Amino acid sequence: MIRETLVVTRRADGGAHLAPMGAQSVILPDGAEGVLLQPFRPSATLENLQRWPCATLNHVDDVRLFAGCLTGRREWPTCEARRIACARLACALAHEELEVERVEDDPQRPRFFLRLLARANHAPFPGFNRAKAAVIEAAILVSRLHLLPPDKVARELDALRIALDKTAGAEEEEAWGWLMEAVARHREKLRA
Ligand SMILES: Cc1cc2nc3c(=O)[nH]c(=O)nc-3n(C[C@H](O)[C@H](O)[C@H](O)COP(=O)(O)O)c2cc1C
């Protein structure tokens, strides 16, 4: 299974770098729990993992973090992890601490296998919400605007908007607004 998470890695200057990324659950050869991350080149997450081989996976309820990272809003409060020299998100409902076990290099999308060292819960999971799921799907579309045909993006956003209109709260509306600004900027660029 692949979970959409917020990955925190350590920058060259020691600061925290935050990026939304799919994290696939895997079992390592010795039977331990692990995670597979596959960053597309070029990627700051990839460079950070090569330099400092650890990361935290952060499970959040506030989808503005997904939309924010893709629209230039990457600064969210962090605190130190317990077992690794890496930050985690202060608002995470739960987080996992991982170290890189093995890397399979690839010119397009290297595969980082990480070992789970620790996990902690910080707040209860408040339940599913369709608007949050819609924002995450829209964020994925925004991360691929340069690859996808504009009419496909428009159709998919129209469908996602239905769930947003029916079930969003203020955070989801704000996150959606940031994403739609990015879509509008991209359309302007295509017209210019
Ligand atoms: C829900 C979600 C999942 C994503 N999963 C991946 C992924 O698995 N690999 C990847 O390279 N980019 C993924 N992206 C896009 C990255 O978040 C985006 O390209 C970001 O800028 C990563 O670049 P960085 O490592 O340079 O920060 C995802 C985006 C979203 C919204």
Per-residue confidence (pLDDT) for residue 45, from 0 to 100: 98
pLDDT at 70: 97
pLDDT of residue 127: 97
Q: Find the angle CA(97)-CA(103)-CA(107) to the nearest 5 degrees.
A: 125
Q: Decide: helix, strand or coil at residue 27.
A: strand
Q: How far is CA 73 from each of CA 124, 144, 175, rounded to the nearest angstrom?
A: 25, 18, 11
How remote is the CA of residue 119 from the centroid of ligand 1, in Å?
Answer: 22
Across the 192 residues of the chain, what is the mean pLDDT of every consecutive 10-residue run?
A: 98 97 98 98 98 98 98 97 98 98 98 98 98 98 97 98 98 98 97 90
pLDDT score for 62? 98
- As a whole number of angstroms, the distance between CA 18 and CA 40 comes to 15
Quote the pLDDT of residue 192.
Answer: 87
**What's the CA gap between 192 and 189, in Å, rounded?**
5
Nearest CA to ligand 1 atom 9: 39
User: Is the CB of residue 20 less than 8 Å from the CB of residue 66?
Assistant: yes
Pocket probe for ligand 1: among 52, 132, 143, 160, the residue whose CB has the most ligand atoms within 8 Å is: 143
Pocket of ligand 1 (CB under 6 A): 4, 19-22, 38-40, 43-45, 66, 70, 136, 139-140, 143
- pTM (two decimals): 0.97
pLDDT for the residue 9:
98
